[in-house]
Amino acid sequence: MRLLLLAVLLSCSCARAGCEPKIVNIGAVLSQKRYEQVFKDAVTQANQVYGRDKFKLTAISVTHKPNAIQMALSVCEDLISSQVYAILVSHPPQSNDHLTPTPVSYTAGFYRIPVVGLTTRMSIYSDKSIHLSFLRTVPPYSHQAHVWFDLMREFNWNHIILIVSDDHEGRAAQKRLETLLEERETKAEKVLQFSQETNLTALLLEAKELEARVIILSASEEDAAAVYKAARFLNMTGSGYVWLVGEREMSGKALSEAPDGLIGLQLIYGKNESAHINDAVAVVAQSIQELFEKENITEPPRGCVGNTNIWKTGPLFKRVLMSSKYPEGLTGRVEFNDDGDRKYAHYSILNYQKSRLIQVGTYNGTQVLMNNQRKIIWPGGETEKPQGFQMSTRLKIVTIHQEPFVYVKPTQLDGTCKEEMTLNGVLIKKVICTGPNETIPGNLSGRPIVPQCCYGFCIDLLIKLAMTMNFTYEVHLVADGKFGTQERVNNSNKKEWNGMMGELLGGLADMIVAPLTINNERAQYIEFSKPFKYQGLTILVKKEIPRSTLDSFMQPFQSTLWLLVGLSVHVVAVMLYLLDRFSPFGRFKVNSEEEEEDALTLSSAMWFSWGVLLNSGIGEGAPRSFSARILGMVWAGFAMIIVASYTANLAAFLVLDRPEERITGINDPRLRNPSDKFIYATVKQSSVDIYFRRQVELSTMYRHMEKHNYESAAEAIQAVRDNKLHAFIWDSAVLEFEASQKCDLVTTGELFFRSGFGIGMRKDSPWKQNVSLAILSSHENGFMEDLDKTWVRYQECDSRSNAPATLTFENMAGVFMLVAGGIAAGIFLIFIEIAYKRHKDARRKQMQLAFAAVNVWRKNLQDTTEASGCQAVAGTPSLPSSSLETQDDRKSGRADPDPQKKASFRSISTTLASSIKKRRSSKDTQYPPTDITGQLNLSDPSVSTVV
């Protein structure tokens, strides 16, 4: 029993020794000495609530030093050397000395020791790239934009002018407010930045010309005072105006110049350093308790001399601090956002009345709560809430060049517009519009802005609205030539509108009067009137005009059929020849006394076969046999069918317009399955581009179009005409008009994405209701229909296209070429025939010459024989009868020639032929002279010489 009691006592003593609380030092840089005791009391109170047996907080504090170097040395020597876990820092007493927390933040941040700001509200401390470990129990001045935004919603103000100083504080407030306005899908009418060198009077004059009368100011005390003076000089502090400011703009020097009726803000407990010390110590103690529940907690660095190692647990401790929540703070609910700034801060809403600040409401961190017991006195002593805008009767109109809705032409030399008449004889109404000079090629941004003449559908509509609603206007063309779409700014996540949308939202225009398509994306940011024209999307392609080639007349039949027809002609001709040749009835006698006719020759059969096929008259060479005539009749029937079929198809090919198959619509396979062989596109950053981008099922088409889109509709239409683009997708009203004016273009497929053209205005525009009513009235009284008849004419090409097609030379050029080929072939063949004839005549003359020589020889021989006979008769007895018979036979040519005479004849013939050849081979060859009968002229010396 005693042993057991001893063991229990030993274990308790060991446990007591191991449970000693860990000492945790917390540092503080305070504005005054008196707050050091407040800091110690807060640490003591925190020890009673947090840590208990695990840790014990110890307070180590210093006060602000005169300069940054002394302050940094004090942080190192007095705080970091004591291994502090966190450092609290307040703002120095001098309101203009905002650099003092900076050395504390830099020095502690180098070692990743968390720094908790108490009363520092400059927005620069939210930048974590500079102040790595800084967080604070107060919000920055830029967070006042949340209260301004809620006040705008409370009083239903949509027109605002934001005036900010050109410094970090002003830019931070501008960014915060613009982010909130984007969430509400609205935008400040104008943002005006100013610096020390800015002429505030000129700046406020620009603001005075705007419709908005709610002015939000973010500036320092000195700058705010200067702005108030300039505004009072321009009478911008009177009735109808509203001034919303923050805490700086209504304190010190600024308050002395502030106009009556000003609405300002003041942070509740913003300057209560004691309350912020208590809340900060409680948050740190709570976070240390959570930190000690984690493992691997390292000790903070000890001193700065020779120590460059960061505190490994520092970033973890900072994350624990930023995620902590302290709902029971003296300054209210304490929480931090991602930048380490205080969330859910409470503000007092103050009204400047007769040199006094009267609280008229509060902001509880989430919403504005106005005190209905206290009336707000507005500028000018008004008690009724101002509307926040002044309805201007001078409107800035932005439009875009898009025929037939807006035509743009250069002005005359005297700066006026040339008078022109419509087809109906009505004078065209034109207005002067400024914009980029479209006569100069190149990018619109680089063109000079010059006055030009605008007219068309939308201009007539604008003139009508101005007369109906009693306003004046000035028209300008959009600078970048775009309708408007959202695009990223500098590859960031922020998007801004370009084109006419951007100018309208940016305050450069009050109204868009152009063929602007109404869609959901645009309607989220601007207000559209009722549609003044309904339309959809369609597809424009070039009309496929059939091109006639030289073989157009052969198109009715395929090449295979032509070959078979040609082969059939020759086969039938051969069969006709064979049938008529071997038929027993192929030859006959018309009269037994006449000579027998020749049978059908192959040449005649060919002529007959071609003549029947080509429907030409057959004068001779017809088959005579019955079997050949049967084949001839069958061939005639075949020829009739072939010729009739050819004639019918020839008319279809040469006369009828048979273009290639056009696009059937948006679901055409050539569109749904894009390829580089078929290019289609639309206009960059237009409503059509937005439509294809938003439709998931059209994503493949959008990726194809994105690479080929054009800057304007006019460029794309010209590309279609030049065969650089196969199809152009755009508004049906525009494309149908272009197709009616340019007859080589045609729209195809059914309309899709049906929508309308509307007039664009800002969400807060006071004109939006009146414009819609005026457009509805124009539809009812027929004015819109008259505009359609005047500007959107569809009938010109339709009347021409209904006329019957006429054959042209291009259609029949092949036939003429065939005739020309036949003529050329005939000329070529006639030369061949002449050459052949000459060759044949030469051979015939050679034979005639040879026979003439033979005749001469025979005659000479006969004369010699007769002379010898006479001598024999005179000196010898008469010859026997047989000898006489022999002589008679020789005279008649029936006697056989003597071999020696035969040899002499051959020798003479050979010699004669050789002599003739030599004569023909020379250039001066002349044929041997002949008489009229073709016989040799023996009296000629050349012949006698040869003989």
Over residues 556-610, the pLDDT tens digits come to 777 888 888 888 888 878 887 777 777 776 543 334 444 445 557 777 878 787 8
pLDDT digits (tens, 9 = 90+) for 218-277: 999 999 999 999 999 999 999 989 999 999 999 888 998 999 999 999 999 988 999 999
929, 933, 935, 938: CA torsion to nearest 10: -60
Pairing of the two strands 326-329 and 190-194: unpaired
- Residue 585: φ, ψ to 5°: -105, 20
Q: How confident is the model at residue 792 (pLDDT cuts 50, 70, 90)?
A: confident
C-alpha–C-alpha distance, residues 163 and 666, integer Å: 50
- Residue 190: φ, ψ to 5°: -155, 140
- Look at residue 801 in the predicted model and tell me its pLDDT: 47
C-alpha–C-alpha distance, residues 904 and 615, integer Å: 62
Q: Which two tokens stand for residue 390?
A: 């002044």
Q: How confident is the model at residue 795 (pLDDT cuts 50, 70, 90)?
A: low
What's the longest Cα–Cα distance across the chain?
209
C-alpha–C-alpha distance, residues 206 and 193, integer Å: 12
Q: Do you know the residue count of the chain?
A: 947
Q: Region 408-427: what's the mean pLDDT?
A: 84
The answer to whether 185 and 214 have CB atoms below 8 angstroms apart is no
pTM of the model: 0.57
Q: How confident is the model at residue 21 (pLDDT cuts 50, 70, 90)?
A: confident
Name which of 566, 651, 648 is nearest 613 in CA terms.
566
Strand order across the beta sheet in which 115-117 lies: 55-63, 22-30, 84-89, 115-117, 134-136
- Residue 450: φ, ψ to 5°: -135, 155
The answer to whether 711 and 684 have CB atoms below 8 angstroms apart is yes
Question: Of the ranges 259-268, 287-296, 642-651, 925-934, which one carries the lowest mean pLDDT score?
Answer: 925-934
Q: Give CA 791 to chain center in angstroms.
A: 27
User: Nearest 5 degrees, angle CA 872-CA 877-CA 882?
Assistant: 85
**What are the angstrom distances between the C-alpha of 800 and each of 651, 746, 803?**
21, 13, 6
Question: Of the ranges 48-52, 366-370, 561-565, 878-882, which one carries the lowest mean pLDDT score?
Answer: 878-882
Q: Which residue has the higher pLDDT, 730 or 39?
A: 39
Q: In the chain, what percentage of residues exceed pLDDT 90?
A: 26
The answer to whether 110 and 310 have CB atoms below 8 angstroms apart is yes
Residue 403 clears pLDDT 90, i.e. is over it? no
Q: How confident is the model at residue 549 (pLDDT cuts 50, 70, 90)?
A: low
Q: How confident is the model at residue 297 (pLDDT cuts 50, 70, 90)?
A: confident
- Residue 264: φ, ψ to 5°: -130, 175
**Helical H segments across 325-440, by residue range:** none
Name which of 214, 95, 197 is nearest 153 in CA terms.
214
C-alpha–C-alpha distance, residues 890 and 876, integer Å: 22
pLDDT digits (tens, 9 = 90+) for 328-385: 889 988 999 999 999 989 999 999 998 899 999 999 988 999 988 888 999 988 888 8
- Look at residue 871 in the predicted model and tell me its pLDDT: 59
Q: How confident is the model at residue 545 (pLDDT cuts 50, 70, 90)?
A: low
Q: What share of the chain is helix, strand, coil (3-state, %, to 5)?
A: 45, 20, 35
What residue type is 109 in one-letter code? G
User: Nearest 5 degrees, angle CA 618-CA 619-CA 623?
Assistant: 70
- Look at residue 62 in the predicted model and tell me its pLDDT: 92
Helices 602-613 and 626-654 sit at what angle, rounded to 10 degrees?
Answer: 40
Q: How confident is the model at residue 648 (pLDDT cuts 50, 70, 90)?
A: confident
